[in-house]
Amino acid sequence: MARDDEAPPVTGLRLGGRAFAPGRTVVMAVVNRTPDSFFAGARQLDDDVAFAAVDEAVAAGADVLDVGGVKAGPGDDVSAQQEVDRVVGFVAAVRERHPGVVLSVDTWRAEVAEHACAAGAGLVNDTWAGHDPDLVHVAARHGAGYVVSHTGGATPRTRPFRVTYGAHPDGVVDDVVRTLTAGAARAVAAGVDPASVLVDPTHDFGKNTRHSLALVRRTDAVVAIGHPVLMALSRKDFIGETLDLPPDERLEGTLAATSLAAWLGATVFRCHDARATRRALDVVEAVRGDLIPPRALRGLA
């Protein structure tokens, strides 16, 4: 039971006017409107390639499409106007093409989010932890959801270097929980619907591989914050370093981490492989008792 000075846990998830059933995990498919994504399979700056990726993801069961116009890591400079040009018209076109799917914009710039939300985005994925303090207010003004992230103070498009959270790898968990709790409270105070505030421990951002592994292991601690948890695990470096594999060979490791996080209560999964992710999550839900297998005839006929 919550103390008098604590907000009660949020029940359910609402994004872009859509309510998601309790116990149902959500697939967020990545659409990278960039030529230089770390994963070659997600370089979708070309319109034909991007629309084909969107259609495939929706057919595979994606509930949310996360559209980004700037590579997360270091690379060529991309101005705010270039980011708008890459993202906003595309968001509007996809909104018309797939009206039942929630659209998310992956940006740290309030200017970009303003245009994208006006074009139909129902979620602002603030991967860089409030670097632009007006970003959360853009989400609130448009009635959009908002992702609260954790970067350990890292600034956009930088890589971690000898970052520490105390002597023990699990020390990162306390920092993440504290930061995400405060960020979620700020988002609600700004006017974002509590059921539309997602918290993301943001694996790899401002973290080494041991930190990211600890955050998968302690997913329950992030879930206990009380808001829906977003996990962006797909093909990340902590998977690659654990298995000593390049991005195009990290699917199995991604699905293993995804299944563990789902079992421990995470709700939304940002991924490059919508079909494989949906199938893995369906099995987790069935084992957990939240999904009835659509075909369960063994031993009955």
pLDDT in tens, 56-72: 999 999 999 999 999 99
What pTM was computed for the model? 0.94
- Reported as a single tens digit per residue, the pLDDT across 198-238 is 999 999 999 999 999 999 999 999 999 999 999 999 999 99
Q: CB-based contacts of 184: which residues, under 8 Å, 6+ apart?
A: 148, 197, 199, 225, 226, 227
Active site residue 71: no
Q: Choose the catalytic residue: 43, 86, 109, 270.
A: 270
pLDDT under 50 in the chain at which residues?
1-4
Q: Choose the catalytic residue: 86, 207, 236, 278.
A: 236
Q: Cα separations (Å) of 234 from 64, 276, 277?
A: 15, 11, 9
Domain ranges of the chain: 22-288
| 50, 133, 218, 270: CA torsion to nearest 10 | -10
| CATH architecture observed for domain 22-288 | Alpha-Beta Barrel (3.20)
Active site residue 270: yes
pLDDT of residue 7: 62
